Structure 1
């Protein structure tokens, strides 16, 4: 894939970039290694001050980078501004909480005595240079949610971003340096996917984190495993959105629409499979379909637009293949299932609602990365859980019920990294984020995410 900015709303190539060659990659690896030697010794107060300076700079440039993101990958300008603001929040959160999260942990006095020690504690030390392989769908947030805890912990980062968001990638590489981080602490690599293996195998790379597709995750995990290097993977998701009879149906419908079409439907944690109890199924379907059909598809730069284009022509084709396969096998499209006839250019696709989904259809088990919702009736809680778990993924889940006994069952039985009641899945700096099964392993955000790339060191003093 060429490294280029191609406007998804028009299909026009705006700017192309040459991939960095071996010499430049080597320079950046050397620079990162040298930076880590010094940066790892900085105190936590200094690191927090640098994160705050980065937050201030990003906040000042919020509109500029929002326009860049919308131009490169098609999210609405409203969503792009919100993404930038979320990044500012995360930077400040780690600046405020990093020292607490990285504080030494001390066992109980009884355990220290039992170990034969005079004193003992656990210290979190940085690992080194971490390679971050990041996706295009949240081109700022996905990077910041790694970089903020990583830099606070004393690591340094090398970013290999998606090839269709090069200007956002370069902005990130420059942002931390302009905010005052020492040269080499965070750098962007403009390289294709074919360069990842050699970089990851370089002994100067200590670990890697990837957010992306399952095939990409398998590849990085295999290489890192061969090199015995730590990885964190956040891969695909096909999250269930379960609605039980006690739910506030109007709120559940309104939230369901947002949960499905956020980021033009291109979010791993977007609700994709809507599993609705039979007692309220017809009412939900009628209201949900009407709300999806009423969404405005159009220019993502306009404040009035609800759904912009998909990020790439290939992405739209993949989504169409899933929908056509389902309809060809008997599924019913209650709305959408086509390209908007009034958009002759750009990679637009109408918000779509499908019913009659069966296990033989690809969309039952594959992730639909676009504004396409599948609906399933469930006769009871057991049927809802079975449907929710009947996929290879386990990123997050959404459940609408006011019944406490039902809530306990869902917490116990849903195979997912998160269970969100009476709302939609959303990441927050204070909450760990990640999945199970083929949605990956490890966690981002919170103290858990910070500690993933720390050398958790036992310090023991003999009596």
Structure 2
């Protein structure tokens, strides 16, 4: 019996889309077609591959009026925010802009005796396993550089955003990227693991849970297949006593609550200097109380449902446990009667929290943030580092040198000053600890999807 993947819409719990998974034989055939097509694709001039990827990106943009409500149905983001095309285009465009230089051979020597250089050559077939929370932007982080570098790509998207991979593949095919070079595939976990274990791919990029990343690494064990992982975070914000308070509150609370808190680099815990603590809380509560929870298809909605009931339940449990342990909730549930105990979850700010509580340790991935008072940089650094994750940290101060000193002590992949929750495509997107390993975007993003190949050519005398 064929297994079927079903996207359950968080709007009303109905089945929004369903697709049959590929059998093991069909999956192997897809890989074989990708391998066969990759050689010709890699032989094309780099300029041609860049142009076709840019055209594919633009074609996605032309679909945006259909994509935005489709995303609302699949994962609950309000239509008022207009989808992801801005960041999608920015990231892909930057990688296209730097490709010539990033992929250029490293010239060592070319004299009368020897010609020596290092090329970056494609890995072959790249598997991209993408998440549902920012399904277009996270996928393109690897899809664009992988295709530009001459790889074939198989894209496996999360069941919650079942239609995204189809959209991307359709757009890129219509733009001229060969169908076998970029394939959207529907795979179950066992088939995915079996393909990885059989060395079907030259590189695997996975964005998702810690457990999912561990499964990818276990499947690849002993195969020497490269695996890049981005597994979420528990990202802190630190507001120093000289910070622009209004900017800090506006940005950090938005970073905690946007997309219903469903962002790997969203702010999940905030440490505020004691001099600003009370004022910070007053302003933060006012912002959150102004949100409108509701149907994401309604233009008035500012915070939609979480992508699935089980995600909302995890956040409710963390909040309930914290309150039972002495935390205090700043937001009155009466202000959000739309919270139905299912996928629609009210936003919350917690105070009187500490690191014994799961809400300050485990990834929440929802619209809740804990706020703690601190009295020094040393205290804030210790608390920020007291986490099993390390994706980003956000520092708020007018003193760049102080921010750099503090940043040097934080165990994280990216440090922001006076901003948060943003991927700069010129900088490497990376993490440490349980956030995973590897690096996407920037020049380094091309390193994962290529391998170095050395040429040592002795000239005839």
**Band the TM-score falls in, shorter-chain normalisation:** over 0.9
The 5 A counterparts of 1:18-57 are 18-57=20-59
Q: Is the 8 A contact 2:238 2:380 kept in 1?
A: yes
Q: Where does structure 1 lack aligned partners over 5 or more consecutive residues?
A: none
Moved segments of 4+, more than 6 Å: none
Alignment of 1:330-349 (within 5 A): 330-335=326-331, 340-342=336-338, 344=340, 347-349=343-345
The equivalent of 1:214 in structure 2 is 210
Task: Summarize deviations over 1:382-421 as a string: whole Å, max 9, x none.
Answer: 0011110000000011000112342121221111111110
Task: Give 2:139's aligned residue.
Answer: 143
2:96 aligns with 95
Question: For the residues of structure 2 that align with 1:234 and 1:434, how far apart are their CA atoms?
Answer: 7
In 1, the alpha carbon distance for the partners of 2:243 and 2:13 equals 42
Q: Is residue 267 from structure 1 mapped to residue 260 from structure 2 by the alignment?
A: no
Query: 411, 428, 431: which is aligned to 2:407?
Result: 411
Distance 1:378 1:47, change over 3 A: same
1:130-279 equivalences in 2 (<5 Å): 130-279=126-275
Q: Deviations over 1:134-163 (max 9, x none)?
A: 111111111111100110111111112111
* Whole-angstrom distance in 2 between the partners of 1:401 and 1:353: 22
**Shift in Å, 1:336:** 5.1
Q: Which residue of 2 aligns with 1:302?
A: 298
1:337 CA drift (Å): 6.5
Query: What is the aligned partner in structure 1 of residue 357 from structure 2?
Result: 361
Do the aligned residues in 2 keep the contact of 1:174 with 1:187 (CA within 8 Å)? no
SS at match of 1:275: strand
Structure-2 separation of matches of 1:411 and 1:117: 48
The answer to whether the Cα contact below 8 Å between 2:199 and 2:225 also exists between their aligned partners in 1 is no
Superposed displacement of residue 345, structure 1:
8.4
How many Å apart are 1:8 and its aligned residue?
0.7
Q: CA deviation at 1:78?
A: 3.3
Q: 1:117 to 1:250 in 2, by over 3 A?
A: farther
5+ long unaligned stretches in structure 2: none
Aligned-residue RMSD, C-alpha: 2.0
**Aligned residues of 1:300 and 1:307 also touching (Cα < 8 A):** yes
Any conservation in 2 of the 1:397–1:425 contact (CA below 8 Å)? Answer: no
* SS of residue matched to 1:140: helix
Query: Under a length normalisation based on structure 1, what TM-score does the superposition of the two structures give?
Result: 0.94
* Aligned-pair CA distance for 1:462: 3.7
Counterpart selection for 1:311 from 287, 298, 307: 307
SS of 1:198 mapped into structure 2: helix
Instruction: Tell me if the contact between 1:77 and 1:300 (Cα under 8 Å) persists in the aligned partners.
Output: yes
CA distance in 1: counterparts of 2:96 and 2:131, whole angstroms = 25
SS at match of 1:226: coil
Contact 1:336–1:353, Cα closer than 8 Å, also in 2:
no
Q: Deviations over 1:56-91 (max 9, x none)?
A: 211211121122112101112233x34122212333
Deviation at 1:24, TM superposition (A): 2.0
The answer as to whether partners of 1:3 and 1:164 remain within 8 angstroms in 2 is no
Contact 1:326 1:357 in 2 (8 A): yes
1:282 is aligned to 2:268: no
Gap change, CA 1:236 and 1:343, over 3 Å in 2: closer
Give the Cα–Cα distance (whole angstroms) in 1 for the partners of residues 164 and 318 of structure 2: 30
Q: CA deviation at 1:303?
A: 2.7
* CA distance in 1 between partners of 2:362 and 2:236 (Å): 13
Q: Secondary structure at the match of 1:335?
A: coil
Distance 1:342 1:408 in 2: 43
Contact 2:321 2:357 in 1 (8 A): yes
Distance in 1, matches of 2:386 and 2:303, equals 29
What's the CA shift string for 1:340-385, capped at 9, x where partnerless?
4335486111110011222221122101111101101111000011
Structure-2 residue corresponding to 1:461: 457
- Paired with 1:89 and 1:359, the residues of 2 have a C-alpha distance of 37
Structure 2 partner of 1:428? 424
Q: 1:439 to 1:345 in 2, by over 3 A?
A: closer
Residues 260, 314 of structure 1: CA spacing in aligned structure 2 closer, same or farther, 3 A cutoff?
same
